[in-house]
Amino acid sequence: MDLTQADFDRYIEEYREMEPLYAVEQQSIETTPDAFKNDDFGPRDAEWIVRWYFRRYLGAYPHRDRRKAEEAFAETGFRTMRTTILDAVDAVAAENTASAIEHLTGLPAVDMEIATAFLQFISPEEYVVVGDREWTVVAALTELSDPYPDEELDAAAYADYLAAVRSLADRYDRSLWECYMAIWRCWVDRFEAE
């Protein structure tokens, strides 16, 4: 599959116009990185990222699984949550993605995919969230050849995915956040009905 620049830009604009979470996502992309970097966040800020990961599916994610993860994360003591996120922020600043992921996945209910959501909101210039939808589109548009892992996603697979998304950002001259928007809408347009 190939997308023209016009297709890619259209998907970004569709995301802005049609995705119901866009306004709050955009606000979070603009404010959360500094809040994390400056240790100016509370438990709800962190909980929002876990909720966002599931709720962006707009009901297509199993309710029971979503609630279980959200509740497990919310029960984490804020001191633990705060320390772990700050450790991940430090690891990102040191360009140590594996260490950041290791810290984040140490939190209750934070698997690899949710860790990448945290990374996206810690540093949206460097990271983008991954899930089966995003992986499917990125694999169709790039040389990312492996299918989405049936078992647990690992840091090496995420690194391959991230490199592929960065290649899209270069090809279409867009930020990683804009790439995420285009990828999400491309999935809705070209893969959702399959």
Reduced to 3 states (helix: H, G, I; strand: E, B; else coil), residue 7 is helix
Q: Please report which helix (H) or strand (E) contains residue 9, including its range.
A: helix 5-18
| Residue 57 confidence (pLDDT) | 86
| Residue 174 confidence (pLDDT) | 98
CB neighbour list of residue 90: distance below 8 Å, 6 or more residues apart: none
Residues of the chain with pLDDT under 70: 193-194
| Residue 146 confidence (pLDDT) | 80
CB 105 within 8 A of CB 111: yes
Q: Please report which helix (H) or strand (E) contains residue 65, including its range.
A: helix 63-74
| Residue 86 confidence (pLDDT) | 98
CB 183 within 8 A of CB 138: yes
Measure the CA–CA gap between 100 and 30, rounded to whole angstroms: 21
| Residue 193 confidence (pLDDT) | 64
